[in-house]
Homo-oligomer: A and B are copies of this chain.
């Protein structure tokens, strides 16, 4: 049950809980949590259920990530999938987009962060809304600096580039169809 352990560990740490804290709230021992997470035991349904209950996660939700096509509707911020970090971090809504036509990202650009001038393009359509900071967006030969509340939208086949020209982090929510990476 290696897989179950890994998934539980990810779920617990995404909520910022310690093994003991989770164990207490679940009514199981901390040893149980440890053994399950490390795949050193084959937990009973009852144990797993008690733990998932205290996390407000149903069996269905817990195992939903199994299906290739995801069937989850709601995601806590801590559950967003970090598909890239560094000067630009991308948090994706949903972890498995196979079979999906839509990709939604929560992006954070550190000051000076730049997607580069490579101007790479791909066959898709994308757009986004700026939440905080300043973002210089280049599409084709046009350049604009956007700030909180502004938005963009274009065909991804046009060369494009993003750059944080401000001195604070820039936050963006973007969407792309079909998913680009």
Enumerate chain A interface residues (CB-CB to B < 8 A).
1, 4, 42-49, 58-67, 71
Copy number in this complex?
Answer: 2
Per a CB cutoff under 8 Å, which of B1, B47, B63, B64 touches A46?
A: B1
Given A45-B48, A58-B63, 8 further pairs, Cβ under 8 A: A42-B47, A43-B44, A43-B45, A44-B44, A58-B67, A60-B63, A60-B67, A64-B71
Could you tell me if B48 and A59 are in contact, using CB atoms closer than 8 angstroms?
A: no
Per a CB cutoff under 8 Å, which of B46, B67, B71 touches A42?
A: B46
Q: Find chain B residues with CB under 8 A from A65 CB.
A: 60
Q: Find chain B residues with CB under 8 A from A45 CB.
A: 1, 4, 42-45, 48
Instruction: Kindly state the separation between the CA atoms of A61 and B64 in the bound complex, as whole angstroms.
Output: 8
**Interchain nearest-CB distance for A44 vs B (Å):** 4
Per a CB cutoff under 8 Å, which of B4, B48, B71 touches A71?
A: B71
Question: 21 interchain pairs (CB within 8 A)?
Answer: A1-B45, A1-B46, A1-B49, A4-B45, A42-B45, A42-B46, A42-B47, A44-B44, A44-B45, A45-B45, A45-B48, A59-B59, A59-B63, A59-B66, A60-B60, A60-B63, A60-B64, A60-B67, A62-B63, A64-B71, A71-B71
